[in-house]
Chains A and B, each alone.
Chain A
Amino acid sequence: MEVLRIRLPNADYISDLLKAVTAVVEEGTFRATQEGLRLTAMDPAHISLVDFELRADAAEEYKVAKETEITVNVEELVKLLRRAKKTDALVISYDDELRRLNVTLSDMRGGKERLFTLNTLEPMGGTMNPPSLTFEAMARLDSDSFYEAIEDSKPIADAVKITIRPDMVVVAAKGETKSAQHRFVSGGPAVHEIDAKSEVSASFSIAYLEKIVKPGKSLSDELEVRLSTNRPIKLSFPITYGRLEYLVAPRMD
C-alpha cells in the first residue's frame, strides 16, 4: 500500500537538503508523520549528529496514510534526485509492502515522465531522539564567513577552537609552527547577533565542521552557533519549512 506521497514543485531544494544530511550519515531512517518527514542520526563514529525535518507545508501535496519509518541510503537517493531537470516536478512515494521508494520526475511541458525506484534498507537500531542540551552562548553568523574561517584553518591544524565572547566570535587553529585566527566582531557584517555572558570555548575536528558547513551555507545565509565549554556544539541552518541542525562533539585533547 502507498503510505506516503510527497509532491514538490522541483527536486533541487530537497536534494540540496538531503545532500546536507549526507555530511553526517550515508544511510538513515526517516520518520514520516502528519507533521512532516524527520531524520535524526549519528555518524558511525558517534561524533556528529544531524537533525533534519521537512515540514508537510513544504510540499504541494503531502499525504501520510500511516505513520511509518523508512530506512534508505540517502546518498543513493540524492543521486537519483540529481537526475532531475529544472522543469521537472517531483513526486516521492513509499510502498510499505514492496518496501520501495518511488521517485517520479515529470516534465509537464515535454509530456514526459521518468520513474526511479530505490529499495529501502533493513533499519539499523531504529530512530533516535537528539540529546537535550543547554548552551551557555549563542551567536548568529554569516555562514559563508564562518565557512571561510574553517577553510583557512585547514592548512594549520586538524582542529579549531571556537570561542564566543560577549564582544566577538573567534575561530582559532594552532599548529606546531603556524597558527590562524579569525575574529568576527560584534556589530560587523558577519555577526548578526551574539548572546553570551562570559567567554565560552571548545575545540572541534575541522573535518567534521567542514563537511557540515559546506552544504549548509548554500542552503542558508545565516548560521546559528550554540556553544558550551567543552560540550558538543550545535550548528543550525534556519530553513523555511523545516529544520537542519547538527551537533558535533568536542575534541578531548
Chain B
Amino acid sequence: MGLQRVAIPWTEKYRPRRVSEVVGNGEAVQAFLEWVRSWSSGRPAKKAALLHGPPGTGKTSLVIAFAEENGYDLVQLNASDRRSAEDIKNLLGQAVRAASVFGRRRIVLIDEVDGLSTVADAGGVRAIASLIDRTEVPIVLVANDPWDPSLQELRSRCEMIGFRRLRAKEVLSRLEEICRREGVSVDREVLESIAERSKGDMRAAINDLQLVATSGSDPRRVLESIPNRVIELNAFELLGRIFGAHRFSEGRGTLANTDLDVDTVFTWVLDNLDQQIRDPQALHEAYKVLADADLHLRRATRLQRWELMKYGTILLSAGPGVIKATVAEKGGRFEFPARIRFMQQTKDVRTLADSILTKVTRRLHMSRAKAAVHFLPYLRLMLKAGDRGIARHFRLTEEEIGYLVSRAPELRVQPAEVRESVEERARPQAKARRAGTASGRSTGRSRA
C-alpha cells in the first residue's frame, strides 16, 4: 500500500483555463487584457499591474488563464516561496530581462504582495519596485489589500486594477456547472446557501461545495457545521460599510471585520467625511461625533484603560453612517487619506528632524517641544553663519546640518499631490486635519 494520495482540490481542478471562464469582474478583466496587450506595441506607461481585491475573486486565476491560453511562459513567485530582497533579486532579476528557454513571451506573477511587509521579507517591496523599473516583460502583482502604507512604492508604479466580491448569482452558476461536470447532484437550495455564505469568495464556495458533495452525509448538516466566515474588509470596503450603515445596529460591528487598526480607520473616516456628508449642519454633527470618538480613544491609550476603547470604536463605526442617513446624500468616491500619504512622503525629513532633536535635547536638558521652538531657530542661524563648532558640539552629521541650513523652521514640504487635494477640498476638511494632527495621532498601521 502506497501513501494515500489526496484528491485534487476542486478549486484547482476547476481553475479557469481560459480568460472567458473567469467569472465576473468584467471591467477588471478588460482592463487587464488592455494593459497586457499594450505590451505588443511597445512599453506601456506602467510596466506592472497590481490586481487587488478580496480573496477568491479571480485575480491570480485570470493571470494564469491568460498565460495558458496565449502561450505565455509564466514565472510565478508565491507567498510560500522565500521572498527576501535577495531571493527576489536572484530569481526574478534575471527573469525580467532574459527570454525563456522555450522562446515564448513571459509574464512574471508575484502573489500576495501585501504579505511582504513581514520581517522575513524585509526589503522585498523595494526589490520588487526596482524590478519594475528594469523589466522588459509584464509584471503582475496580486494583493488583497494594496493600501498598506508599505506598498506605496509599488502603487505608484502599477496600473491599479480592482476586483470586487462576486455576486451570489455568479458564484451559484459556477457551482452548478461544477456539479454538472462532476456528475453530482446537490439541491439548488443548498447551492444557493453555499453561494450566499461565501460572501463573493469563489474559492471558499468551491471548497464548501466539495466538502458537501463528497462527505456522503446530509448536505444541510455538513453546511451547518462549517462556521461562518469572518471576512476581512479592506479600507475602502470598510468605509463603504461605515458610511452605508443607516442604523446604529448596522454600523457598530463593522470594525470586527478588518485587521486595520483603529487609528488607521479613524484617519480614513476623518479624511473622507467632508466628501460623504455635504450638508454643513450634518457635517458639523459628524465632526463632533468623531471628536468624541477621538477623545475616548486617546484616553484609552494614554491611561491604558482599554475598556474605554469601545466607546470610541462605537462612535467611529456607527456615527458617520447614521448622521449621513439623516440628510440622505449620495456621497462621493472614497479617497486614500492625504494625511497618511503626506506622512509617508515626508518620512525621511521627519526622521532627520527627529534625530537632530534627540541630539540637541540630550545636551541641553530640555524637552523636545521646547528645543524645537526656542532653540532650533538659533541653531539654524548659527549654522548659517558658518559656526562649525556648534555642529561639533551636538555631533550633527553633514546631512543634519544640510537640513537645518536649508529648511524653513517648520516642516513645510508639501508634495504636489497633497497640495492639490487640499485645495480641492472644502475648508472644514483642513480644520479637521489640523485637529487630528494636534492630538498626536500615530499614522499607518504597524504589522509587527
Q: Most chain-A Cβ atoms within 10 A of its Cβ — which of B75, B95, B99?
A: B99
A154 and B101 alpha carbons, distance in the complex (Å): 23
Which residue of A has the minimal Cβ distance to B108?
A45
Cross-interface CB contact of A46 among B1, B75, B97, B136, cutoff 8 Å: B75
Q: B97, A252: Cβ atoms under 8 Å?
A: yes
| Chain A 205-253 residues near chain B, CB threshold 8 A | 205, 207-208, 230-232, 247-253
Q: A251, B100: Cβ atoms under 8 Å?
A: no
Q: B136, A249: Cβ atoms under 8 Å?
A: no
Interface of B is mostly: loop
Q: Most chain-A Cβ atoms within 10 A of its Cβ — which of B91, B101, B136?
A: B101
Cross-interface CB contact of A249 among B3, B92, B101, cutoff 8 Å: B101
**CB-defined interface of A79-117 with B at 8 Å, one 1/0 digit per residue?**
000000000000000001101000000000000000000
A49 within 8 A of B: yes
Q: Which residues of the partner chain A approach B136 to less than 8 Å between Cβ atoms?
A: 252-253
B73 within 8 A of A: yes
A180 within 8 A of B: no
The size of the chain A interface, using a CB distance under 8 A, is 25
| Chain B 1-18 residues near chain A, CB threshold 8 A | 1-3
Q: A205, B2: Cβ atoms under 8 Å?
A: no
CB distance from B154 to the nearest CB of A (A): 20
Question: Taking A97-B1, A99-B2, A99-B3 as contacts, is the C-beta distance between A47 and B103 under 8 angstroms?
Answer: no
A48 within 8 A of B: yes
A42 within 8 A of B: yes
B106 within 8 A of A: yes
Q: A47, B2: Cβ atoms under 8 Å?
A: no
CB distance from A42 to the nearest CB of B (A): 6
A131 and B3 alpha carbons, distance in the complex (Å): 34
A188 within 8 A of B: no
A119 and B3 alpha carbons, distance in the complex (Å): 12
Q: A250, B94: Cβ atoms under 8 Å?
A: no
Q: Which residues of the partner chain B approach A47 to less than 8 Å between Cβ atoms?
A: 94-95, 98-101
Question: Taking A97-B1, A99-B3, A131-B103 as contacts, is the C-beta distance between A45 and B95 under 8 angstroms?
Answer: yes
Q: Most chain-B Cβ atoms within 10 A of its Cβ — which of A47, A231, A253?
A: A47
Cross-interface CB contact of B100 among A46, A96, A97, A205, cutoff 8 Å: A46
Q: B91, A44: Cβ atoms under 8 Å?
A: yes
A45 and B3 alpha carbons, distance in the complex (Å): 31
Which residue of B has the minimal Cβ distance to A128?
B102
Q: B97, A249: Cβ atoms under 8 Å?
A: no
CB distance from B146 to the nearest CB of A (A): 25
A49 and B98 alpha carbons, distance in the complex (Å): 13
Q: A250, B98: Cβ atoms under 8 Å?
A: yes
Cross-interface CB contact of B102 among A131, A204, A251, cutoff 8 Å: A131
Q: B103, A46: Cβ atoms under 8 Å?
A: no
Q: A45, B99: Cβ atoms under 8 Å?
A: no
Q: B2, A46: Cβ atoms under 8 Å?
A: no
A232 and B100 alpha carbons, distance in the complex (Å): 8
Q: Which residues of the partner chain A approach B75 to less than 8 Å between Cβ atoms?
A: 44-46
A47 and B3 alpha carbons, distance in the complex (Å): 34
**CB-defined interface of B1-37 with A at 8 Å, one 1/0 digit per residue?**
1110000000000000000000000000000000000
Q: Which residues of the partner chain B approach A204 to less than 8 Å between Cβ atoms?
A: 98
Q: Most chain-B Cβ atoms within 10 A of its Cβ — which of A46, A96, A247?
A: A46
Q: Which residues of the partner chain B approach A45 to less than 8 Å between Cβ atoms?
A: 75, 91-92, 94-95, 98
A231 and B95 alpha carbons, distance in the complex (Å): 15
Which residue of B has the minimal Cβ distance to A131?
B102
CB distance from B200 to the nearest CB of A (A): 31
Question: Taking A44-B75, A45-B91 as contacts, is the C-beta distance between A205 and B101 under 8 angstroms?
Answer: no
Q: Which residues of the partner chain B approach A99 to less than 8 Å between Cβ atoms?
A: 2-3
Q: A97, B2: Cβ atoms under 8 Å?
A: yes
A99 and B2 alpha carbons, distance in the complex (Å): 8
Q: Which residues of the partner chain A approach B103 to less than 8 Å between Cβ atoms?
A: 131, 231-232, 249
Question: Taking A46-B75, A97-B1, A253-B136 as contacts, is the C-beta distance between A207 and B94 under 8 angstroms?
Answer: yes
**CB-defined interface of B97-119 with A at 8 Å, one 1/0 digit per residue?**
11111110010000000000000
Q: B94, A208: Cβ atoms under 8 Å?
A: yes
A131 and B73 alpha carbons, distance in the complex (Å): 14
Q: Which residues of the partner chain A approach B97 to less than 8 Å between Cβ atoms?
A: 205, 251-253
A118 and B101 alpha carbons, distance in the complex (Å): 31
Cross-interface CB contact of A232 among B91, B95, B101, B106, cutoff 8 Å: B101
Q: Which residues of the partner chain B approach A232 to less than 8 Å between Cβ atoms?
A: 99, 101, 103
Q: Which residues of the partner chain A approach B102 to less than 8 Å between Cβ atoms?
A: 46, 131
Question: Taking A44-B75, A45-B75, A131-B103 as contacts, is the C-beta distance between A205 and B98 under 8 angstroms?
Answer: yes
Which residue of B has the minimal Cβ distance to A97?
B2
| Chain A 46-72 residues near chain B, CB threshold 8 A | 46-49
A99 and B3 alpha carbons, distance in the complex (Å): 8
Q: Which residues of the partner chain A approach B101 to less than 8 Å between Cβ atoms?
A: 42, 46-49, 131, 232, 247-249
Q: Which residues of the partner chain A approach B92 to less than 8 Å between Cβ atoms?
A: 45
CB distance from B297 to the nearest CB of A (A): 47
Task: List 3 tightest A-B contacts by C-beta distance, closest first.
Answer: A45-B95, A249-B99, A252-B136
Extra 12 A-B pairs, beta carbons < 8 Å, given A231-B103, A253-B97:
A45-B91, A45-B95, A46-B101, A47-B98, A131-B101, A131-B103, A205-B98, A249-B98, A249-B101, A249-B103, A251-B98, A252-B99
Enumerate 19 A-B pairs (CB-CB under 8 Å) in ascending A order: A45-B75, A45-B95, A45-B98, A46-B106, A47-B95, A47-B99, A47-B100, A47-B101, A49-B101, A204-B98, A205-B94, A205-B98, A249-B98, A249-B101, A251-B98, A252-B98, A252-B137, A253-B97, A253-B136
